[in-house]
Chain A
Amino acid sequence: MATTTEKISEQMRLITQQGKMPPWYLKDLYRYLSAFAVLTVIYIGFRIYQGEFAVSTGLDSTDPVFETYWMRLFNFNVTFVTLFAGLSWGYLWFSRDKNLDTLEPKEEIRRYFTLTMWISVYTFAVYWAGSYFAEQDNSWHQVSVRDTPFTANHIIEFYFNFPMYVILGGCAWLYARTRLPLYAKGISLPLTLAVFGPFMILVSVGFNEWGHTFWYREEFFAAPIHWGFVIGVWFAHGVGGILLQGVTRLIELLDELEEAA
């Protein structure tokens, strides 16, 4: 009887312990979930701001209130993403691991999990930029008349959402390059494609807006001046190669781990 009670107590202790702290390979789980929460608040906040002020202040770029409500937001966005890029990329570079040759298999496994979390947060930002706010742009163009490249949706989509996923993709690339031996010895082609390809979407804003100086309307969304964005997003398929690289290495590392219960 006593043995059974002890076993139950031990099980309960283990469960409680597991409930409080994630296992070692998910050490960054709470940071990962926090990143999702922060980004969700930001993006939904943008949408609420648009719902509140776009129709009342965002239809005429010559109106002084447009300057107050939208160009100030544009200036804030550009400043914020510039600072965020410098801080996040700088932190990842200056805190890099300079002793990768002595990395233990367990620690390397944990870092592969963290890399996957970085890429996952990157794809979450890709969702908001490539799905929600991208198609919302079509909706806005069909109820307003474009008189500026800085519309109520472009200011958020082109000058916050696009740079944000570029920054987070860069973070994933830098994390891999500075903390994982295989990515430090060679430059992963699929990771580079998956990060630098969608980066070209940001650059395509220039082509798109140049095209719209000839055709100010959005006659149809599938117009060729939008296809630069399309080609950029194809490179997201590089994630398949990252998955294969990660799985192959994880299998090797798991083989090096001793069996645990």
Chain B
Amino acid sequence: MFLRNFLIDARYAQIAVLFTLIALGITVFNFDIPVWHAGGVLCAALIMQALCARLVHVPFDWRSPVITAASLTLLLRTDHPGWSLLAGGLAIASKFVLRVNGKHIFNPANFAIAALALGASGVWISPGQWGAAGWFAISLAALGLIVTGKAKRWDVSLMYLGSFAAILIGRALWYGDPLAIPFHQLQSGSLLIFAFFMISDPMTTPDARPARLIHAVLTAAVGAFIVFDFYRADGVILALILTAPLVPILDRFFPADRARWRASKEPQYA
């Protein structure tokens, strides 16, 4: 039964990969992830999912809050458990509240990170934490997900990375910089995690492939603009918050079947 679920629901593979990355981060890359942070976001995400599911009368599903919590554990850093709890809660709540046409607008973890990184002094992301070896590990994991068909929206991930790389390389050529600089900038673990676990979220990407590709290019351009003109290291993540509201508009111009984690006619709160 579990194996069948694992094969039909891509979220199991995502959970496995995210937890492997957390374990690698702690053991090999010495990430400073306090137990209260990991526990805080997980508890808050699960409790908020349970509460909201009851309010809108849908069955409780543990998988997507676990994915959200794992993303927050990997990307977000806080100086107080209160912020961690707030991040977990805010992420899931956004999924139930901020909806258009039966689809949530923001990727839950992206929403929480952007809201808190802009508003709270005790919350930050550490884009430099992976280094080149970590980048390699995430690339392997991402490649694994694509090959096994568990990355449903790999088109978005690759289009995003391709356009971001093109912008960085173009910028280096314009400035006369050696190509070592854009290649170094692309070797960011946080960039890969964003590309494979956040912008590619099937629930918040446009339904049709052309729309998804347009959205990916736009998000890459806005991200590069924030990083290089506003000097914000978290620009890549903030960009998605700005481009996510365009998804309902893109969906109108490019209608297609809605993504579903599993065959079901219920509204998806995943």
The answer to whether A and B belong to the same complex is no
A residues whose Cβ falls under 8 Å from a Cβ of B? none
Binding site for A on B (CB under 8 A): none
